[in-house]
Structure 1
């Protein structure tokens, strides 16, 4: 196997395991490309992306940009065999798309062609899918349309949030990406066409995170998990403030309630849906810290619990 000269583009934490896996391989990462530092926290301190920070720790030169075309004068003179992109947050267009000798491969967190787009893990959970996975495919101008080299399946489970599932996929996907890179270096792997009807996973909006209490409890619970931790599930209280729902679970063993109606059964805080109630476990009222649902209810008028909308 001939060692390849690589460029890796990525930004958020789920891309770090792939960077680590490739840095530990026989291949050489010539450059890492990431988004510029962003203001984080209450003090709005400019903070490098997790990928940029890790690349600095590994001693790999980092280029930061929101627009890859701006890097053409610096990148195009470099002799690169393969580009790898994992959640970079920007498009690769010509001439950079054809610049590496073997083109670019993309680690995408779904079983393509299902859930092409920016938020595949979140949409898979919201839709109630039982299985998802990771795909390494050849990057093309179309949205996640390229031929794929390898896939890894992952059961979603009944309780995992998008954050937890994405963390698991980032690890298995890193190993998958390294196998593909090694296979390309050895000339021992070929791509195959995507088959099946594609579905799409656009970036989530705040409206996607608002609970629809008129849906069945399974759909409500899936939405809560699918938008956790970002953008974060919420419902509106009668006073016009938002109640964030951090953790919840179906309560199929209890009597139905009208959609949005709150009730207390023993120590359990319940909200009605179209079918069984949803049990609230942890919540965060506006302007306050996260707390147990029981603590939240104890601060309310027990005789007039709110109706959520």
Structure 2
């Protein structure tokens, strides 16, 4: 098929690489290059870099406005495919391809509609997730589904790790969906059940409330790692990034109290202690939690009472 592919982050690259050998990719639509790193070097999106490797034409657009719509429509695609592009697809662009737009979404719809399905599922302590390929409609992630596949959540996986594995799984389902559309066997089924929302995470969502039981603290850490980043606040207001957190068999500690236990740095929660495996103090490089704590005399107090749960009914952003 003659397709247009829209995507931006690394999670979209496996889908582009899987589709390109089998179809005519008329263009790859991605967000514009942006400053990255401490030196703020202008860097193309991972999808743009993949398109260049594959020799595919690129349309850089932060919004699918009238100009982008005209450029895409002029290509006369039979189908448009979107994977985490980072913007809304509206009419008349939505109806421009003969077969419309299909979207790879990283949840079992209608669960976790929105921009952060993987993160929110981990924060909720889910042990099962999956991917869905559906047709875009004006309502957020509400279109009929053509492919769906369930997957277990690996023990201890962070949002970054889980998203990487779902990206590979989703690429397989996307290839199958496009093949079915091409040969006329695709069957789209309306979503069933009550939807839940997964709005984009803010920095405050990464705040760890150490007054909660250890499993809940771990769930929030997993869901906010690597983005927007899990953190706790020290007495005095200094923010401590928590890069790696793990279960611990250490003796109980008061919630928020950090101490050395054997060779490890552990911190108390509302139930069992957790190990601060790797941390990053403000203005410093990442380091082993035990090294950080020994540098403070072997003890520290982290404030309890992290961010309140986000309102799932507000602030949801389209997952396209």
Q: TM-score, length-normalised on structure 2?
A: 0.92
| Alpha-carbon separation, structure 2, partners of 1:159 and 1:98 | 42
Partner of 1:115: 112
Which of structure 1's runs of 4+ aligned residues deviate more than 6 A?
none
Q: CA RMSD in A?
A: 1.1
| Alpha-carbon separation, structure 1, partners of 2:159 and 2:168 | 14
1:43-192 alignment runs, 5 A limit? 43-69=39-65, 70-192=67-189
> Would the aligned equivalents of 2:4 and 2:72 in 1 still touch at CA under 8 Å?
no
| Alpha-carbon separation, structure 1, partners of 2:133 and 2:124 | 23
1:131-280 alignment runs, 5 A limit? 131-251=128-248, 253-280=249-276
The answer for unaligned runs of 5 or more in structure 2 is 305-320
- Counterpart of 2:185 in 1: which secondary structure? coil
| Alpha-carbon separation, structure 2, partners of 1:296 and 1:176 | 44
| Count of paired positions | 303
Partner of 2:300: 305
Q: TM-score, length-normalised on structure 1?
A: 0.95
Deviation at 1:93, TM superposition (A): 0.4
Partner of 2:308: none
- Counterpart of 1:112 in 2: which secondary structure? coil
| Alpha-carbon separation, structure 1, partners of 2:48 and 2:302 | 45
The answer for unaligned runs of 5 or more in structure 1 is none
> Would the aligned equivalents of 1:262 and 1:308 in 2 still touch at CA under 8 Å?
no
Bigger RCO of structures 1 and 2 (CA < 8 A, at least 6 apart): 2
